[in-house]
Amino acid sequence: MTRIIADISVSVDGFVTGPDPGPDNALGTCGEALHTWAFSGDPDDRRVLREGTARSGAVVLGRRLFDLVDGPNGWDDKTGYGAGEVGKPAFVVVTSSPPESVRLTDLDWTFVTTGLSDAVATARELAEAASSDSGKELDVVLMGGGAAIGSALDAGTPLFTGGAPRILAQRSVTPTSTATHLTYDVL
């Protein structure tokens, strides 16, 4: 069965970017520190990135994040979702209106204008098709940004405030030289 996974780098105090994120400063001021682990040579960081992206059958992101990753200072062959780690999953963008053009034309983009739940349903269909094609279980990954994941958890932004209380079951903890990777199941 296709799982829905929320996968995002977050500071201990609940922030997913530094202050003032935008097209020329995607992660905000000093926000790149949140993603140091994704570019480190630490073998555990590499394993976490490889395993996380390898399970991706489809990835959901919000329009603000799409505008950053598809913008002129966004993803390229060296930086992007699992760059250098795995194939390229389908990407589903939640938006009120699709963009007029897409810079990253080598990626499979689907734009859903009818809300997050429809975007997740579309991503699930794409992940299930990719699972069938590959012969292995693949998941839907909620990449973010924070508002999209917060909405998916009905918690808002920042991730850890508001909404109904949730029970989390710890699956794994992997400390590395650059980060501590925490994996939880939401019960």
The confidence band for 88, taking pLDDT boundaries of 50, 70 and 90, is confident
Higher-pLDDT residue of 16, 87: 16
Percent of the chain with pLDDT over 90: 29
Q: Taking residues 34-43, what's their average pLDDT?
A: 86
Q: Are 112 and 92 in contact (CB under 8 A)?
A: yes
pLDDT score for 158:
42
Q: Taking residues 3-16, what's their average pLDDT?
A: 82
Across 2-6, 105-109, 156-160, least confident range: 156-160
Any residues with CB less than 8 A from the CB of 84 and at least 6 apart, and which?
Answer: 78
Q: Taking residues 133-137, what's their average pLDDT?
A: 91
pLDDT score for 126:
96
pLDDT at 97 over 70: yes
The confidence band for 21, taking pLDDT boundaries of 50, 70 and 90, is confident
Calculate the alpha carbon distances from 89 to 11, 25, 58, 65, 79 in Å: 26, 25, 5, 16, 15
Q: What is the CATH number of domain 4-9+25-186?
A: 3.40.430.10
